[in-house]
Homo-oligomer: A and B are copies of this chain.
Amino acid sequence: MNHPTESPLQPILAPGSIAVVGASRDAGKRGNMAIRYLQQNRFQGRIYPIHPKESEVLGLTCYPTVKSLPEAPDLALICTAAHTLPGLIRQCGERGIRGAVVLATGFSETGEAGQALEEEMVAAARAMGLRIIGPNTSGMFTTHCGANLVGFRDLRSGPIGLLSQSGNMALSLVTEAGQHPSLGFSTYVGVGNEADVQFHEYLDYFAADPYTRVIVGYVEGLKQGRRFLQSAARISREKPLVIYMSGRTAVGQQSARSHTGALSGSYALAKGVMRQAGVLLVERADEILPVANTLAATRGQLPLRGKRVAILADGGGHATIAADALHQLGLSIPRLGETTRNRLRELLPPSAAVNNPVDVAGGTDNHPQLFADCAEVLLADSDIDILLIVGLFGGYGLRFSESLSNDELQCARRLAPLPDRFDKPVLLQSLYRPLQPEPLRYLENTSIPLFSSIDEAARCLAAIADYDQARTRLADHEQSERAELSASVSDRIGEVLQSGRRCLYEYEALDALAAYGATVVPPQVIRDEQEFDEIVPSAAESRYVMKLVSRDILHKTDAGGVKLNLVPDDFVPAYREILANARRYRPDAAIEGVLLAPMAEPGVEVIIGVTRDRQYGPVMMFGLGGVFVEVLQDVVFRALPLSRADALEMLDGIRGSKVLDGVRGGAAVDRQALVSLMLAVSDLCVNHPEIVELDLNPVLARPMDYCVLDARILLNPQQEAA
């Protein structure tokens, strides 16, 4: 386990003293409200109002300038208009202030002039060693020190650290949390334009913050996606990161753009790289808090031993809904062993179902404590990893008889310590949760998360299993040995760029892959018809393929530059025809020659591609060829460098994954071979950042090996090392 050191943002986000620049005596002004919020939230530090003329604001001594302050406060909250900012930042820096929250709008989100002003402000901050939160932010709060700089009402402190690119979404989440007694926040930051401090830097703060047990983010687009992924992959081993990504569709992006200026990319791509980094990407905004709360509550019960869930229900309907939902989410609801079944039979009436789901069938109607008895039996079963209780618990007193409430409370007291005792997560859904009866109130803030919806409970349970799997993968993930730089590939790339080409010839691309350990058909380039005299007698394969090699003709098939199924006697005529076709297609094309290779044995067509994403840097795409990619867009993404575990997850991550196991009686493909090719591609693209695009399309995946049928590598001389 890493012991994270304190973040440099710590004194800024949990300040001991705050200057409010633009303080005001006018109750409607932000510079007045800000101080009131701090006072109402019992801010434990010193507050310094700054106003050129006032001597006192809300009972506090007011200072005319930051320069005149008696100490350098940890943080300046700047409430004045955009144009004042560069100057104020300099003044703050000179006074020794190390952090500022800038609320003003009118910066890069408004256009070029605002962009220039923002850059000037950031330059001043950098020069002064001061960090800026915002601008164009709703503010921030840290509950443990009462630093509420955003003015949300009724803030409850708790384990959730919140980062948001939308102030209204933060307000939504805080308001929603207000409905649930167990939900509360450590620190919130409205990141605003991220002019200075970036999203991933806040992650590092939360990682080190002892008040934060789970990190929640609302993201519309990341300016430094790669840095985010690196931070996330490190942090998520220790603390869960729950992210909701907005602007997934073109129409959503349109709206996101007009909001923060952040540009979103493909959601499929983001899903892949986020998953790789251990991030729990939630699909619905109304699942953000339930998932976060569940992970905060059950974090102590990880790692899991498996995904085997026992369902304990007091009614068949609820049991069935829960079983369906969990099964659809990929969890296992195993049949119970004979010992457990017998123990349950002893506890329950004869009509009870002691399968999984367990349905107590009225057994708890007069004695709700049976829930605790059954829970103990199920948790003691070594073939069960997680327990989900669904139904009416907590409401027996309301539904049947007041006298049962006490028995239910006893039951709650017995349930509460079970997760720790058995080291297994326990989740509880009750239709009475919204009514907050005493037994359920007792369970709030224990290790047992509560739900009113079975669907929500199932999704949160699946999130525990997802997070557990990612954590294990990231923890096991040795610093993957990366291949050393291949000098021959560097040289070749240098030569190609020198010659003004931007695309490697196919044989060069195959050579480059081979240099990183990929098994490729030895590419044979024929530059002269005479060479066939030597080749034909020794040709041992039954059929060959011949392809044009020309820098000027990218689409070889269109140009009549590909011949299949050739026997050696066909070589010379095919060569002549290809050259003739190429000259007809593009008379001025420079022709290097042709490539000759044996025809490949059949296999499953897959596609491996690498692009450099605007947000996330180099990413690999994997998919099955043909209709799977063209019609179903059945592809999966991961950021480079790829680990072996990442590559294996990619193979399993496509919907058509079963095709790799063999269809219509065919044998399974060699997954390890495919993985080794993907790792070679990863090493190649990471070591040679001039490669901006790579396409192996198709690769034939076969039972014993693979065969790269076409390889295309595009270069960009401007690209710097990743």
Contact = CB atoms under 8 A, between A and B. Distances in A.
Interface of A: 105, 153, 164-169, 171-172, 175-176, 179, 218, 220, 246-256, 258-260, 284-287, 311, 314-321, 323-325, 327-328, 333, 351, 353, 355-357, 359, 391-392, 395, 398-399, 431-432, 434-435, 452-456, 627-628, 630-632, 655-656, 658-659, 663-664
Contacts of A356: 251
B316 A171 contact: no
Nearest to A661: B631
Contact of A630 (B255, B631, B664): B664
A195 to B, nearest CB: 18
B252 A323 contact: yes
A317 B246 contact: yes
Contacts of A391: 168
Contacts of A357: 255
Contact of A631 (B164, B395, B656): B656
Contact of A175 (B311, B317, B431): B431
A320 B167 contact: no
Contact of A359 (B167, B258, B315): B258
Given A252-B323, A392-B171, A659-B627, A317 B165 contact: yes
A252 B248 CA distance: 33
Given A284-B325, A630-B663, A632-B655, 12 more contacts: A166-B318, A168-B392, A175-B431, A220-B316, A246-B321, A249-B323, A251-B333, A252-B323, A258-B353, A258-B359, A631-B659, A631-B663
A247 B255 CA distance: 40
A256 B320 contact: yes
Contacts of A452: 176, 286
Contacts of A435: 175
Contacts of A254: 323, 355
A434 B179 contact: yes
A118 B204 CA distance: 67
A102 to B, nearest CB: 18
A432 B175 contact: yes
A627 B317 contact: no
B286 A454 contact: yes
Contact of A455 (B284, B317, B319, B323): B284
Contacts of A353: 255, 258-259
Contacts of A630: 663-664
A8 B323 CA distance: 38
Contacts of A316: 166, 168, 220, 255-256, 258-260
A170 to B, nearest CB: 8
Nearest to A110: B351
19 contacts: A165-B317, A167-B317, A168-B314, A168-B316, A168-B318, A169-B317, A169-B321, A175-B435, A176-B431, A220-B316, A251-B324, A251-B333, A255-B355, A255-B359, A256-B320, A259-B359, A285-B454, A287-B455, A631-B656
Contact of A453 (B166, B285, B399): B285
Contacts of A325: 284
A317 B218 CA distance: 9
Contact of A319 (B255, B359, B631): B255
A153 B287 CA distance: 30
Chain B CB within 10 A, most for which of A164, A249, A250, A355: A249
A165 to B, nearest CB: 7
A249 B357 CA distance: 13
A220 B317 CA distance: 8
A609 to B, nearest CB: 18
Chain B CB within 10 A, most for which of A153, A318, A320: A320
Contacts of A628: 627
The 10 closest A-B pairs by CB, nearest first: A259-B316, A166-B317, A168-B315, A252-B324, A169-B317, A286-B453, A249-B327, A284-B455, A258-B353, A255-B320
A655 B627 CA distance: 11
Nearest to A657: B631
A632 to B, nearest CB: 6
B319 A259 contact: yes
Contacts of A287: 455
Given A179-B434, A247-B324, A627 B259 contact: no
A320 B456 contact: no
A638 to B, nearest CB: 22
A627 B663 contact: yes
A391 B255 CA distance: 14
A331 to B, nearest CB: 10
Nearest to A249: B327
A30 to B, nearest CB: 12
Chain B CB within 10 A, most for which of A247, A315, A627: A627
B260 A166 contact: no
A227 B434 CA distance: 38
Contacts of A311: 255
A260 to B, nearest CB: 7
Nearest to A630: B663
Nearest to A173: B431
Contacts of A656: 627, 631-632
Nearest to A164: B317
Given A179-B434, A286-B453, A434-B179, A317 B258 contact: no
Contacts of A255: 311, 316, 319-320, 323, 353, 355, 357, 359
A247 B320 contact: yes
Contact of A324 (B153, B246, B432): B246
Given A249-B324, A323-B251, A658-B631, A317 B355 contact: no
A630 B431 CA distance: 40
Contacts of A250: 327
A399 B321 CA distance: 38
A328 B664 CA distance: 34
Contacts of A256: 316, 320
Contacts of A327: 249-252
Given A455-B285, A627-B656, A656-B632, A168 B246 contact: no
Chain B CB within 10 A, most for which of A164, A254, A260, A664: A254
A419 B435 CA distance: 33
Contacts of A175: 395, 431-432, 435
Contacts of A431: 171-172, 175-176
A333 B251 CA distance: 7
A188 B434 CA distance: 22
